């Protein structure tokens, strides 16, 4: 069973979000990393890039395939996890902590209300996975 | 996963929590613990694969050799009883119908092991080109196929058979008993490692699987899925039908000239292949190594200074070599080692260099 921490928010595209004031840390969920398998490549945006909710934020690639990462929130990239470029397997090992991908400065913090809670994401996985 | 065929080991894979995927009309295990772990286990120790999806066709009758010689490009008269040979089978225009393994069982009987996705096509093609008293029959339901691959394969298998395995040379086989089960034991594989392929009755497959894994446990033998099989064969630059080979691709393009024997007599496609050989191939299969960051994937365009010169047939992160590599068809002028090309990944041309094949070759 996938690990789904209670203090985070989730998207239906299997990203997790940790909201901290006007900023949000984004990564992919334990379910996502497990479905992808061994992650061997990560492409992250540049600091300063701006995105609308639903845009492609980056790409993670497993041995078998490439998958887009979508941002569930609008905002500007203020930090990226450069460590992932050399050690993408960290996402498999620790998706919620060391495997974080980007920090966004939110342009519309009200969008956070559209995200799923732990319980809602759990239910979504049960119905769709 | 509806309407997919299942191997006799389906329940075993489920119990091992394998991730199952569709492959060639079959529901197959793509991985158990992880593709990279399984890949490395095969390179360093040994891995056990269920490849029972492969098709087995039995061609037999007086004159079987002559029929086969006309149907495939390699010289089947060169293989005595107890030997196997790899060969393409091509159409009149030289395009590849399939690539297969042929076992000489003796007494005018040959076992053809074909790709699952091509089995019905192959069977029809063979039936349309039979002559005399030669027959072909689909025996796929009669065989399960397990592959034990890796440097420890012989050592592990020897513990459960009285056959002298070291006497079975590469691309030779023998009939014998393994773990109490009658098998065709063949020293062949699709990983670039030493290893054996074991053909047995489907009802015995589970017993054989468990016997090999139990015996191999102390040596670190693990079950391995189709994911690792693909990365292993890719590093060894063994072609995969559908990627490096197709009806639009002839064996000369694929670098399989060594399997096309023009001096053996007439065969289907000979004329077309001879013309292609004289005129030169339209594309050559090359190895590429990424210079810039990115992973090439099947179908990505290959360019030189922004001009398209080819396409990627297989691309992957290569676990043994820790590099992002590709097999690609490129126009002959761009095939020389060291040539710098671009692979178009998500709209961007990223630098890659032509490198020697195979990417990986085991130490003998």
A87 CB near a chain B CB, below 8 Å? no
pLDDT at B138: 98
C-alpha B135/C-alpha B109 separation (Å) is 10
Ranges in chain B annotated CATH 3.30.70.1400: 56-135
- Determine the residue among A64, A68, A69, A86 to mutate to test chain B binding: the one whose Cβ has the most chain B Cβ atoms within 10 Å: A64
Hey, of B19, B36, B226, B347, which one would you mutate to test binding to chain A, going by the most A CBs within 10 A of its CB? B36
Nearest residue in chain B measured CA to CA from A43 = B294
Please indicate whether, in this complex, the C-beta atoms of B35 and A66 are within 8 angstroms of each other: no
- pLDDT tens, residue by residue, B176-220: 999 999 999 999 999 999 999 999 999 999 999 999 999 999 999
DSSP symbol at A115:
S
Chain B hits for A37, CB-CB cut-off 8 Å, are 19, 31, 34-35, 227
Q: Please tell me if residue A34 touches chain B, with a CB cutoff of 8 Å.
A: no
User: Are residues A63 and B30, on separate chains, in Cβ contact within 8 Å?
Assistant: no
CATH class for the region spanning A11-107: mainly beta
Tell whether A59 is within 8 A of chain B (Cβ): yes
Q: Where in chain B is the domain with CATH 3.30.1360.120?
A: 10-52+143-235
B227 touches chain A (CB under 8 A): yes
Domain B283-355, classified CATH 2.40.30.110, yes or no: yes
| B34/A38 touch (CB, cutoff 8 Å), yes or no | yes
DSSP, res A47:
T
Nearest CA to CA, how far is A3 from chain B (Å)?
18
Per-residue pLDDT of chain B (364 residues; tens, 9 = 90+): 678 999 999 999 999 999 999 999 999 999 999 999 999 999 999 999 999 999 999 999 999 999 999 999 999 999 999 999 999 999 999 999 999 999 999 999 999 999 999 999 999 999 999 999 999 999 999 999 999 999 999 999 999 999 999 999 999 999 999 999 999 999 999 999 999 999 999 999 999 999 999 999 999 999 999 999 999 999 999 999 999 999 999 999 999 999 999 999 999 999 999 999 999 999 999 999 999 999 999 999 999 999 999 999 999 999 999 999 999 999 999 999 999 999 999 999 999 999 999 999 998 7
Q: Contact at 8 Å (CB) between B213 and B87?
A: no
> Any idea where the domains of chain A sit in the sequence?
11-107
pLDDT of residue B363: 84
The ranges of chain B annotated as CATH 2.40.30.110 are 283-355
Over chain B, what HEC string results?
A: CCCCECCCCHHHHHHCCCEEEEECCEEEEEECCCHHHHHHHHHHCCEEEECCCCEEEEEECCCHHHHHHHHCCCCHHHCCCCEEEEEEEECCCCCEEEEEEEEEEECCEEEEEECHHHHHHHHHHHHHCCCCCCEEEECHHHCEEEEEECCCHHHHHHCCECCCHHHCCCCEEEEEEECCEEEEEECCCCCCCCEEEEEECHHHHHHHHHHHHHHHHHHCCEECCHHHHHHHHHHCCCCCECCCEECCECCCCCCCHHHCCHHHCCCCCHHHHHHHHHHCCCCEEEEEEECCCCCCCCCCEEEECCEEEEEEEEEEEECCCCEEEEEEEECHHHCCCCCEEEEEECCEEEEEEEECCCCCCCCC
Write down the ipTM of this complex: 0.90
Thinking of the domain B56-135, which architecture would CATH place it in? 2-Layer Sandwich (3.30)
Q: What is the pLDDT of residue A1?
A: 67
B112 close contact with A: CB closer than 8 A: no
What digits encode the pLDDT tens for the residues A62-114?
A: 998 899 999 999 999 999 999 999 999 999 999 999 999 999 999 999 999 99
Answer yes or no: do A63 and B293 touch at CB < 8 A.
no
Q: Which CATH class is domain B10-52+143-235?
A: alpha beta
């Amino acid at each position: 069973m996938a690990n789904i921490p209670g203090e985070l928010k989730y998207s239906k595209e299997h990203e997790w979000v940790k909201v901290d004031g006007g900023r949000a840390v984004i990564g992919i969920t334990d379910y996502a990393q497990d479905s992808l398998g061994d992650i061997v490549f990560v492409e992250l945006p540049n600091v300063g890039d701006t995105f609308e909710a639903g845009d492609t934020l980056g790409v993670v690639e497993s041995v078998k395939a490439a998958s887009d990462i979508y941002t569930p929130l609008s905002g500007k990239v203020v930090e990226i996890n450069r460590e992932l470029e050399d050690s993408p397997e960290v996402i498999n090992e620790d998706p919620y902590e060391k495997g974080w991908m980007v920090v966004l400065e939110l342009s519309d913090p009200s969008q956070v209300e559209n995200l799923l809670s732990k319980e809602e994401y759990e239910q979504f996985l049960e119905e769709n996975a | 996963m509806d309407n997919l065929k299942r191997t006799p080991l389906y329940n075993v894979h489920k119990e091992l929590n394998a991730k199952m995927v569709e492959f060639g009309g079959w529901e197959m295990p793509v991985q158990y613990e992880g593709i990279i772990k399984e890949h490395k286990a095969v390179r360093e120790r040994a891995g056990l694969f269920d490849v029972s999806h492969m098709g087995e066709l039995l061609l037999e009758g007086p004159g079987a050799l002559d029929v086969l010689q006309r149907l495939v490009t390699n010289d089947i008269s060169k293989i005595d009883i107890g030997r196997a040979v790899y060969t393409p089978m091509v159409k009149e225009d030289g395009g590849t119908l399939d690539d297969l393994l042929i076992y000489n069982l003796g007494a005018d009987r040959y076992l053809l092991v074909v790709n699952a996705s091509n089995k019905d096509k192959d069977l029809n093609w063979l039936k349309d080109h039979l002559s005399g008293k030669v027959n072909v029959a689909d025996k796929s339901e009669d065989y399960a196929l397990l592959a034990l691959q890796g440097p420890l394969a012989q050592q592990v298998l020897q513990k459960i058979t009285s056959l002298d395995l070291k006497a079975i040379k590469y691309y030779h086989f023998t009939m014998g008993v393994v773990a109490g089960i009658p098998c065709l034991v063949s020293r062949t594989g699709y990983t670039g490692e030493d290893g054996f392929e074991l053909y047995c009755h489907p009802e015995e497959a589970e017993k054989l699987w468990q016997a090999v894994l139990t015996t191999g446990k102390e040596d670190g033998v693990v079950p391995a899925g189709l994911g690792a099989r693909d990365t292993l064969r890719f590093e060894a630059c063994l072609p995969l039908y559908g990627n490096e080979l197709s009806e639009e691709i002839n064996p000369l393009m694929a670098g399989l000239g060594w399997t096309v024997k023009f001096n053996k007599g007439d065969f289907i496609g000979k004329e077309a292949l001879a013309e292609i050989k004289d005129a030169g191939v339209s594309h050559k299969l090359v190895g590429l190594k990424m210079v810039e960051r990115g992973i090439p994937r099947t179908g990505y365009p290959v360019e030189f200074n922004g001009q398209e010169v080819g396409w990627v047939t297989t691309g992957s992160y290569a676990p043994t070599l820790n590099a992002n590599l590709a097999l690609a068809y490129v126009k002959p002028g761009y095939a020389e080692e060291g040539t710098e090309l671009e692979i178009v990944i998500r709209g961007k041309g990223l630098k890659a260099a032509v490198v020697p094949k195979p990417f990986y070759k085991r130490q003998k």
